[in-house]
């Protein structure tokens, strides 16, 4: 929550804040964690695997770093994450819901397991972790910033990823709902919709010559996004610069949606 008007670079200064970032072990989550750290925020990184690389990158910013191992496909991960985050002694001022998975198959062949796996990570535990963090922010009256990582598939249908599209469309709606409920409580809830980025989730697309060519042909910027290109949007939405921004889904897509 802002302490009043700021100017210049101070608008984006996150010194003294702590950000909990899920899926921070690689890709977009790692890039967001590093960008927030470079803006001054301490990082509580949540992920299923070791975050050695993320820890080393954050260390360069000279801010605190804490690692929490958790499988966010399971609801029991939520209280465990909250307990371990509290044990760091830092208040969570910023929550970045980045953890997500994808399953690819034609809709006619899509399985219940692939539906449930994606929805559990991308939407269900995301909501309940946000609920837990929101409760704490509301209880102490200090507000905070919540950033959901949505997708172009929050706006479009896509192909062969029914549960992913449903989850990311749902996350956009959830972003708006929480903004409506919590804006008056000093909590900004917004989302970023990444376009086609060079990450593990898009490896299959980049490896397919036709899909890769077709995708690049539509991106006005002419290249797949690099994870570091997402960091600025995250810093903006985590900082005082966005204090009057509520409920947006901000595309960072190289111009994809403009074409």
Measured CA to CA, the distance from residue 55 to residue 222 in angstroms comes to 32
Residues designated as active site:
164
Tell me if 18 sits within 8 A of 92, measured CB to CB: yes
Can you give the pLDDT of all 259 residues of the chain as single tens digits?
444 445 457 999 999 999 999 999 999 999 999 999 999 999 999 999 999 999 999 999 999 999 999 999 999 999 999 999 999 999 999 999 999 999 999 999 999 999 999 999 999 999 999 999 999 999 999 999 999 999 999 999 999 999 999 999 999 999 999 999 999 999 999 999 999 999 888 898 999 999 999 999 999 999 999 999 999 999 999 999 999 999 999 999 999 999 9
Measured CA to CA, the distance from residue 93 to residue 134 in angstroms comes to 10
Overall pTM surpassing 0.75 (yes/no): yes
Q: What is the pLDDT of residue 9?
A: 77
What is the distance of C-alpha 165 from the center of its chain?
16
Q: At a CB cut-off of 8 Å and minimum separation 6, what does 129 contact?
A: 22, 72, 78, 81, 82, 95, 97
What is the Cα Rg of the chain in Å?
Answer: 18
Q: What is the pLDDT of residue 2?
A: 44
Residue 128 CB-density burial (10 A; 0-12 exposed, 13-18 middle, 19+ buried):
middle
Q: What is the pLDDT of residue 201?
A: 80
CATH number for the domain whose boundaries are 9-250: 3.40.50.720
Q: What is the pLDDT of residue 8?
A: 54
Give backbone dihedrals phi and psi of 93, rounded to 5 degrees, phi first.
-95, -25
Q: What is the pLDDT of residue 200?
A: 84
**Structure token digits, residue 189:** 């809830």
Q: What is the crossing angle of helices 27-38 and 52-59, to 10°? A: 20
């Amino acid at each position: 929550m802002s302490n009043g008007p700021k100017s210049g670079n101070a608008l984006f200064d996150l010194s003294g804040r702590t950000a909990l970032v899920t899926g921070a072990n690689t890709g977009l989550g790692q890039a967001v964690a590093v960008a927030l750290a470079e803006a001054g925020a301490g990082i509580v990184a949540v992920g299923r695997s070791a975050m050695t690389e993320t820890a080393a990158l954050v260390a360069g910013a000279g801010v605190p770093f804490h690692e929490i191992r958790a499988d966010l496909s399971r609801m029991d991960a939520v209280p465990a994450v909250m307990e371990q985050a509290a044990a760091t002694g830092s208040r969570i001022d910023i929550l970045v819901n980045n953890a997500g998975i994808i399953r690819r198959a034609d809709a006619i062949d899509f399985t219940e397991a692939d539906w449930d796996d994606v929805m559990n990570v991308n939407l269900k535990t995301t909501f309940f972790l946000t609920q837990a963090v929101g409760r704490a922010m509301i209880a102490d009256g200090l507000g905070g910033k919540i950033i959901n990582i949505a997708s172009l598939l929050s706006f479009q249908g896509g192909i062969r990823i029914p549960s992913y599209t449903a989850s990311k469309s749902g996350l956009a709606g959830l972003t708006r709902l929480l903004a409506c409920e919590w804006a008056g409580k000093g909590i900004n809830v917004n989302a970023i919709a990444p376009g086609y980025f060079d990450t593990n989730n898009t490896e299959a697309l980049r490896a397919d010559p036709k899909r890769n060519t077709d995708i690049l042909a539509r991106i006005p910027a002419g290249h797949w996004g690099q994870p570091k290109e997402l960091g600025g949007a995250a810093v903006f939405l985590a900082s005082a610069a966005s204090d009057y921004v509520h409920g947006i889904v901000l595309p960072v897509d190289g111009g994809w949606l403009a074409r």
